[in-house]
Structure 1
Amino acid sequence: MNKKYTFISLSILTALYSQTSLADLHTQCLVGVPKFSGEVVSGDPNDLPVYIEADDAEINQPTSAIYKGNADLKQGNRHLLADSVEVKQIGEGTALQRFAYVRGGFDYKDEQINLLGQNADFNLDSKDGHVSDADYQLVGRQGRGKAQEIELRNAIRVMKNATFTSCLPNDNAWAVDASEIRQYIKEEYAEMWHARFKVQGVPVFYTPYLQLPIGNRRRSGLLIPSAGSSSRDGYWYSQPIYWNIAPNYDATITPKYMSHRGWQLNGEFRYLTPLGEGKIAGEYLGRDRYDEYYGENRKRHLFYWNHNSAFLENWRLNIDYTRVSDKRYFTDFTSDYGSSTDGYANQYARIAYYQPHYNFAISARQFQIFDEVDIGPYRALPQIDFNYYKNDLANGWLDFKLFSQAVRFDNDSSLMPTAWRFHIEPSLATAMSNKYGSLNIETKLYATHYQQKKGKGDGAEEVEKRVNRVIPQIKVDLQTVLARDTTFLKDYTQTFEPRAQYLYRPYRNQSNIGSSRTNDYLGYGYDSSLVQQDYYSLFRDRRYSGLDRIASANQVTLGGTTRFYDRHSMERFNFSAGQTYYLTDSRIDSNPANSTQRSSSSWALESNWKINDNWNWHGSYQYDTQLKKTSLANTSIEYNPERNNLIQFNYRYASQAYIDQNLGRSANAYNQDIKQLGLVAAWEVTDNWAVVGKYYQDLALKKTVEQYFGVQYNSCCWAVGVGARRYVTSRPNQDPDEVVYDNSIGVTFELRGLGTNDHQSGIQDMLEKGKLPYIKAYSL
C-alpha cells in the first residue's frame, strides 16, 4: 500500500533506495551515494568505549584533553575526523558525562549520515549534538543538503535554514529550502516550516508547513499530479491527496478539473482487517457541462467495491461490485474501475464455507449493461451452490462428485418470466494410467427442475409453470505422451500428445425453458450463452455456458499437441490441433438455427514458438469446414532483446459469421469482419530515455482504431513523461458512417530517489495505457 509522493507534497526525505530498480540507472545513481564502511555495531552506542588518536594531545587528568592534528575519534558506528577535538569529563560514577568540542572543521560519519561542518559540540554519552555550517549526505540512499545549524538529539534532528535534494552532487535540478526541518527518526516523519521548492534555483512553490515521511512508513500528503488536454474533456488537471488513516487503512482523494466538463471528485479507500481486505472507490461529477452529452442526468458517478476475506478458518467472502450512473460513463471517462470495451459492469457477492469433502456458497449476481437493448440479462438472486467430493471409492477405482444448485432469476423487463431453477449433477469417474498414457471414463447426470412464472407486463409470453429435464452423459477421454530425440534437430526432444474424446448426451427439447426473447441478449435461457471456441474448448463437456441450454452430444473430438524441448529442458515450440466430429447433430430444441447441422466443428489450431532468446511467436487459427473459410485468427511476433525493450506485430481477425454466432445480436452493429493490425514498440533508448508507441489499424473499416506515443526522461532525482493518444470513441446521435476520435495529451512529473519504485523507465506504465493494452500473447 505504498505511494509515491510528488513535487508538491515534497516527500523528499523518504528515499530508501529500491534494490529491484533498473540496474544501470540504479548503479549510476549509487555512484554519488556514500556507503557505510565497516561492520555496523549493534547495541546502544552510548555504552561503547571511545577511541581517540591524534598527532598531539594535551591531557589534564581526569577533567579534559585536547587532541590536535589529524584527530580521529571513534565510538561504535560514529567516526569523527577533525583538526582539533577537546574532550571534557564532568562528574563521577553514574553521573559521569563526556563532551567533545570540535573547532576549525570536521568530517563526521555514521550508518545514517555523513556530515561536513565547521564547528560541532557532541555529548559522547547520548546522541545529542550541535553542528554549525553543515553539509550533509544520507548514507545508502539519495539525499543531501546543507544546514546553518543542526541539533542532533536522541530521536530528533532539528535543522535550521536547511536545504534538501535527492539529486547527486553537482546536480541542482531541484531542491527544497526550509527555515526549519524536524526529523523524527523512530516515527519516520519530518516537519518543515516555510518550505520553498526550487527548480534550478528558482522558487516555484511555497508552503508554510509540511509533514513528510522519512522512511518506509506511509504518510499523508499530496501525490503525483497529472495534467493534459483532450478533445473530449478539454484541459484537465488532477491532484491526488493521500491520507494515511492508520497502518491498515488509507485513502486517496483526487479532485480533477476538466475545462469542458467541470470538477470531478474521485476517491479510493483501502482497508486490511482480520475480516478481509478490500477497496471502495467512487467518482462523482455534479454537473457534466460537455455540450455533446445529451443525457437527461447531468450527474455522472461511479461506485466500486472489491472485497476478499477469509474468516472463522473455513469461511470466504468475495464482493465485486461496480455501478455507474449511465450507459455512456466508461465511454466518456477514463477510469481504473471499468472500460467501455467490457460492455457491462459486474455486480457480484459470494459467501462460501469449505470443508475437505464438501463446500457450499450463497451468491448474488447481476449485470449493468451498456448496450442499448430493450431486454437485458437476468440477475441471479439468490444462488445457492453445494459441492461434495469423495475419491478412492471401490478400492480406489472410482471418484464421486456432486454439484447442486438452487437459483432464482429475475429481470428488469416486465415482459420476461421469473424462475427458480433447482439443479443436481452427480458424477462418477475412473482413471486408469500407465507409462504409455491414461484413460478417463466419466458418467454424469443432469437433473433440473424449473418453476417459472409469466411476466407481469402486457404482451408477456406464456411459459410452462413447471419443467423437468433429466439428461445422462458419458465421456471417455484417452490421452498419451510419447517422447523421442529428434533426428533433424540436434539435442532436441520432441513429444507427441495425442488425445481422443468421445462424448454422448441424448437430446432433450429445451424450448420451454425461459422465453424466446432471451435470445436477444447474452444468448439463451436465463444464464446461458455460446462458448467461444479454441483448441482447449473442444474438449469441454458443453457448447453453452450456464445450465439452461445443455445441447445433445454424440461426438468424437480428436486433437493433439507436439512440443520441442532443448537440451536444457526448455520448451521452444508447441503446436496443437483439434476438431470435433458430430455423429449426430447437436441440438437444444426444434429450431434448426440452434443445431450444429454439420458433420464437424471448425479446425482449431494453436502454436507458440520461442525462436531464440530474443524472438517469440504466437498464433491461433480456426477454419470453418462448413463455410469453407477462416472464422477466427490471431498472430503476434515479438522481439524482446533485453529488459523491457520490445517490438510486437499483431493481427486479429474474426469473421462476421463468427461474431454473430458467438457474441450475439449486441455485436451485430459491426456488420462486417474484424481485421485489426497492430504495432507495439517500447524501447529504453538510453538509461535516461524511454519511448513507447502503439498503432492499431482496422483494415476492414480502413480506419485507425488507436494511436499512442509516449516518451519519458528519467534521471536520478526526477522524471518527466509526455503521452499523446488518439482513439475511436462514440457520441450520441452519431451518424452510422461517422468515425469519432478523441485526441488527448498528458504530462506527468515525478521526483526520484523518494520511493521503492524509483529509477524504473516508465515503460510498463505507458504500455498499459489505452483501450488496447499490450498483451504478451505467447505462453512459452
Structure 2
Amino acid sequence: MRKALRLLPLPALVALSLSAHAADERPEDWRLCPVVDAIPAFPDAQNPTGITSTRVDQPTDIYGDTLGGTEEKPVFEGNVSLRRGDQFLGTDKLTYESETGTYVATGSVRYQDSGMRLVAETAEGNQNSDTHQLNDVSYQLVSRRGNGGADHITMHGPLGSLYGATYSTCPPGERSWELRARRIDVDTEEGMGVARGAVLRVGKVPVLYVPWFPFPVDDRRRTGLLYPAVGSSSRNGFDYRQPIYLNLAPNYDATLTPRLMTERGVQLGTQFRYLVEGGAGTLEFDYLPSDRLASRERDEETAEFIEKGYPLENRRDDDRGQFSFRGHQRLSGSWIARGNLNWISDPRYLEDFSNNIDGLAPYALTSNVGVYGQGRYWSAGLMADHYQLADYTLSDLVLPHDRLPRAFASWEQPFAEWLTLGMDAEAVRFHHPDKPGGSRFDARPFVSMPLQGASWFMTPKLAWRHTSYRLDEPLAAAAGSDSPRRSLPIASLDAGLFFERDADIRGEDYLQTLEPRLFYLRVPYRDQSGLPLFDTRPMTFSWGQLFRDNRYTGADRQTDANQLTLAVSTRLLRQSDGREKLSASLGQIRYFDDSRVTAPGEEPVERGKSAWVGDISYAVNDRWSLGGSYQWDPKFRRKDLASLRTRYLVGDTGVVNFSYRYRRDLLEQVDLNFLYPLNPSWSLVGRYYYSLDDRQLLEGIAGVQWDSCCMAVRLVGRRHVHNREGDLGTSLQFEIELKGLGSAGPDTESRLRRAILGYYREDLYLVPPSEVAPDPDGDAHSPDPTP
C-alpha cells in the first residue's frame, strides 16, 4: 500500500549535532579500527537512491504484512517499512491518524539513509504540526565514523533537542573517549546548535566540562571558538593560544588568536581572508606589547652587542609585531597581479617567534608586488621588491638593492621546424638607503636550431647580450662613467644521444638507458671590472651548472668561456611496474682557456678540468634505498662536496632516514631521524641533527606515540638551536588527538612531519615541507648574503 507520509527528519538532527566538528583537513587513520558496525545494516532496507536535497519531492511507499483499523486510522503491522529515496524506516507496528496527522511506531524502530543508521524503542509525532519524538535511540554514522545514542529526541520543525546524548568514533565496546551532553538544542534552519552540560571523557575520566557552548551543524561558516593550542618551552613558558573565528561575510572572514605566554606576555594575532572574483588574499598581523623577553634580557643583550660589535639599533623592541599580506588578482586572461608584503618590528623577531632550525632565521625578509603576464610564446612583468634586515648580527649594508621598479619580458617562438627566435630583456632601477644605486638595461636576443630525432638531439644557439647602466655617484666615479655598457656574443651547442636496451638481472626484466650529452659554450672576454654588482653573484657549482651559459646570477657579469661539458646518465627501470632501480650521472667541464671575468673575492677559473660532478641513487629493494652525490676536484685532489642518504621503510608506517652532508669550507652535518613502530599501537620518533664542523647539536627530538582506533597520544621532547649564538632551547609537547573530533595540545604532527621525511608515508614522494611557512606567490625570504 502506498500512502503520502513524510519520513522523520530526526536522524539527520542526530548526525549534525554530535559530529559537527568531525571533519578534518587530513584523512584520519582508521587502520586499527575493527570492521564492526555499532548498528548492523538492516537486511530489509533498500539500497540508497537519489540525493538528500530531492527527498521532499519523492513519494513515500508504506508496506506491511497486514493492514487494519479504519480509513481514518489505518494500522500497519508485521514488517512495516516506509521507503523514500535513500531513506528507510522499519517497525513492527505503525498507527496513523489521517485526520489529525498523528502517528505512533512501536517495536524495533529502525531508520537508515546514506548518512546514518539508528534504532529506537518507539517513535511518535504529528505530521501536520511537524512534531516528532524518538525514545531510547542508538545511532551510527555511515558517511563517516561516529556512533552514540540519546535518551530521547524531540523536534518541532527546524528546532530539535537531544537529551542524554553521546558521541564517539570508538567502537561501542572500546570507548577510549566519548562526548556526553545533558541536552543539545539544534536549529537546522539557522545551522546552529547549543550544547548544555557537555562532558568529554577519556576512558572513564572526565577531562573537560563545558556548561554551555554553541557550534555549527552544517558547512556554513559560523563565528565561534576554534580548537586551542597548548604548549610549553623554556623561552615562552606556558603557551596557550585560543583562536576565535569571525564569519564577517560570505566572501571574507577573520580569525583572532589571543596567545598567553607566561614568560613573555599576551600577544594578539589576527588573520583576515578575502575571496573575490578572480582573486584572493590573506592578511596577518601579530602584536605583542611589552615583551618581557626584551626587558628581561636587555642588559645582557646590550653587553653582548657592544662586545661583538653588533649594531645597537638591532636590539629587540619592547613592543613587537609582524605584518604580512599575500594575495593575487586576475586582471585578464593573460595578466595577473600578485603581492607578497612582509614587515617585522625588529631584526630579532623571526628568531624569537619561529621554530625554524635550518639556518635559524633568514637574514632578510623580502616584499614584492607586481603585475605579470604570460602567453603562448611570451611572458612579461612589472614589479618592485624591498628587503628588510632579519639578522641582528648584520647591518643594513648587507641587504641587496631594492628593485624599484623592475620590468622584464621574454619571447621565444618557433618559425619553422628547425628555427626558433627569442629575446630576454630587463630594465631595473636599483635603490638602497645606505649605498649608491643606478639603473640597468639588459637585452639578449637569440636564435636557435632545435634539431632532433628518435634517439638524438642537437641545438646550436647564438645570442647577443647587451647591458647598459645609468649610475649614481659615487658609482659613476668608480666606473669612470655614469653610463658604462657591455656587449658580446654567446654561442653554444647542446647535443645528446638516447640508447636503451632490455636487461635481465636475477630473473627480473629491466629497461636500461644510456644518455651521453655534450654542451659547448663559447663567449669572448669583455672587461667588466668597472661594472657595478647590484644583484649578481657566482652560482654554487652543481650538475645544473654544467649546461648553463653563465655561472653568475643576474646580469652584472657574463662569464667568458671556451669550454666543453661531457656528461653521461644511465637509468635502470623495472619493466613490471616502471620503478627506478638505479639512476647515475657523471659530468665534468673542460676549460680550454682561462676565464678572466670574476666577481670581487672570486678566484678566476683556470684552464683545465672542473670538479667531477656525480650523483647516484640505488633501490636495494622495495624498502631500502641508497643515494649519494660527490664533487671531486682533480686539480687540487680534494672533494668539494659529498652527501650520502639512505632510507629504510619499517613495516607499513615506519621509516628510518640517515644523511651526511659536506661542502668544503661551509658545512659538515649528519642527520638521523626515524619513526619506528614497536607494535601496531606504540611507536618511537626521534631526530639527531648535528653539525660536525661546529660540534653543535642543531635539533634533537625524542618522543613516543600511542595510536588506537579512535585516539592518538604524542609526547615529544625537543632541543634545538634558537639563536645565532648557538644557544639551545628545550620544549616538551604533549598532544591528545581524538579522531573525528579534534586534538588538544601543540601541533606536534607538523613538527614531526618536517623533521622526519616519511612521517606520513605518502610524503616520501613529495618535496619535504619547508621549515618556513610557504608562500604561494614566491619565496618570502631571501637567501643568505654573500660573505
Structure-1-length-normalised TM-score: 0.83
1:709 has 2:702 as partner: yes
CA distance 1:189–1:105, shift in 2 (3 Å): same
CA distance 1:358–1:44, shift in 2 (3 Å): closer
Q: Is the 8 A contact 2:361 2:390 kept in 1?
A: no
Q: CA deviation at 1:366?
A: 2.6
1:728 has 2:746 as partner: no
Q: Is the 8 A contact 1:34 1:137 kept in 2?
A: no
Specify the alignment match of 2:572 in structure 1: 564
Q: Is the 8 A contact 1:716 1:753 kept in 2?
A: no
CA deviations on 1:601-641 (whole Å, 9 max, x unpaired) are: 21111111122211122211111233321111111010125
SS in 2 for 1:544: coil
- Greater displacement, 78-87 / 494-503: 78-87
Specify the alignment match of 1:494 in structure 2: 512
1:142 has 2:145 as partner: yes
The structure 2 residue matched to 1:53, chosen from 64, 75, 84, is 64
Relative contact order (alpha carbons < 8 A, sep ≥ 6): 1 or 2 greater? 1
Specify the alignment match of 1:618 in structure 2: 627
CA distance 1:723–1:460, shift in 2 (3 Å): farther
2: CA distance, partners of 1:632 / 1:41: 63
CA deviations on 1:561-580 (whole Å, 9 max, x unpaired) are: 01112223432211111111
Amino acid at match of 1:453: D
Q: Is the 8 A contact 1:710 1:721 kept in 2?
A: yes
Specify the alignment match of 2:55 in structure 1: 44
Mapping for residues 652-663 of structure 1, pairs under 5 Å: 652-656=661-665, 659=666
- Greater displacement, 177-186 / 280-289: 177-186
1:529 has 2:546 as partner: no
- In the alignment, structure 2 segments of 5+ residues that lack a partner are 1-16, 302-314, 768-787
Q: CA deviation at 1:424?
A: 1.1
2: CA distance, partners of 1:129 / 1:136: 17
- Greater displacement, 443-452 / 139-148: 139-148
Specify the alignment match of 2:468 in structure 1: 449
Specify the alignment match of 1:253 in structure 2: 256
SS in 1 for 2:530: coil
1:389 has 2:412 as partner: yes
- Greater displacement, 683-692 / 439-448: 683-692
SS in 2 for 1:651: strand
Mapping for residues 141-540 of structure 1, pairs under 5 Å: 141-153=144-156, 155-185=158-188, 188-200=191-203, 203-290=206-293, 291-292=296-297, 294=301, 295-334=315-354, 340-371=360-391, 372-374=393-395, 375-376=397-398, 377-392=400-415, 395-413=416-434, 416-454=435-473, 464-486=481-503, 491-514=509-532, 525-540=533-548
2: CA distance, partners of 1:423 / 1:182: 69
Aligned residues: 719
1: CA distance, partners of 2:72 / 2:765: 77
1:606 has 2:615 as partner: yes
- Greater displacement, 431-440 / 242-251: 242-251
CA deviations on 1:486-514 (whole Å, 9 max, x unpaired) are: 47665222211111111011112222122
Specify the alignment match of 1:662 in structure 2: none
Amino acid at match of 2:29: L
SS in 2 for 1:24: coil
CA deviations on 1:42-72 (whole Å, 9 max, x unpaired) are: 3436853442425x76x3321223456x552
CA deviations on 1:495-538 (whole Å, 9 max, x unpaired) are: 11111111011112222122xxxxxxxxxx00011111111221
Q: Is the 8 A contact 1:387 1:402 kept in 2?
A: yes
Amino acid at match of 2:515: E
Q: CA deviation at 1:652?
A: 0.5
CA deviations on 1:536-585 (whole Å, 9 max, x unpaired) are: 22111111101111121111111110111222343221111111111112
Q: CA deviation at 1:201?
A: 5.3
Specify the alignment match of 1:545 in structure 2: 553
CA deviations on 1:389-423 (whole Å, 9 max, x unpaired) are: 3312xx4331011111110001121xx22100011
The structure 2 residue matched to 1:745, chosen from 729, 732, 744, is 732
1:719 has 2:712 as partner: yes
- Greater displacement, 545-554 / 174-183: 174-183
Quick one: percent identity of the two aligned structures? 28
Q: Is the 8 A contact 2:495 2:517 kept in 1?
A: yes
Q: CA deviation at 1:466?
A: 1.0
CA distance 1:349–1:337, shift in 2 (3 Å): farther
CA distance 1:34–1:60, shift in 2 (3 Å): closer
CA distance 1:549–1:644, shift in 2 (3 Å): farther
Q: CA deviation at 1:152?
A: 3.7
2: CA distance, partners of 1:408 / 1:494: 51
CA distance 1:644–1:536, shift in 2 (3 Å): farther
1: CA distance, partners of 2:601 / 2:238: 55
CA deviations on 1:77-112 (whole Å, 9 max, x unpaired) are: 55445454322221xxxxxx6432135774444444
Q: Is the 8 A contact 1:448 1:468 kept in 2?
A: yes
2: CA distance, partners of 1:583 / 1:346: 40
- Greater displacement, 368-377 / 527-536: 368-377
2: CA distance, partners of 1:407 / 1:562: 42
Mapping for residues 574-593 of structure 1, pairs under 5 Å: 574-588=583-597, 593=602
2: CA distance, partners of 1:101 / 1:603: 86
2: CA distance, partners of 1:560 / 1:158: 73
CA distance 1:705–1:154, shift in 2 (3 Å): same
2: CA distance, partners of 1:590 / 1:543: 11
Q: CA deviation at 1:123?
A: 4.2
The structure 1 residue matched to 2:71, chosen from 48, 51, 62, is 62
CA deviations on 1:203-243 (whole Å, 9 max, x unpaired) are: 54444543323344544433333323222222222223333
Q: Is the 8 A contact 2:669 2:691 kept in 1?
A: yes
2: CA distance, partners of 1:52 / 1:481: 72
Specify the alignment match of 2:782 in structure 1: none
Q: Is the 8 A contact 2:287 2:322 kept in 1?
A: yes
1: CA distance, partners of 2:289 / 2:24: 42
SS in 2 for 1:28: coil
Q: Is the 8 A contact 2:244 2:256 kept in 1?
A: yes
Q: Is the 8 A contact 1:485 1:493 kept in 2?
A: yes
SS in 2 for 1:331: helix
CA distance 1:154–1:537, shift in 2 (3 Å): farther
Q: Is the 8 A contact 2:39 2:118 kept in 1?
A: no
Structure-2-length-normalised TM-score: 0.83
Specify the alignment match of 1:15 in structure 2: 22
Q: Is the 8 A contact 1:66 1:86 kept in 2?
A: yes
Q: Is the 8 A contact 1:477 1:501 kept in 2?
A: yes
Specify the alignment match of 1:32 in structure 2: 38
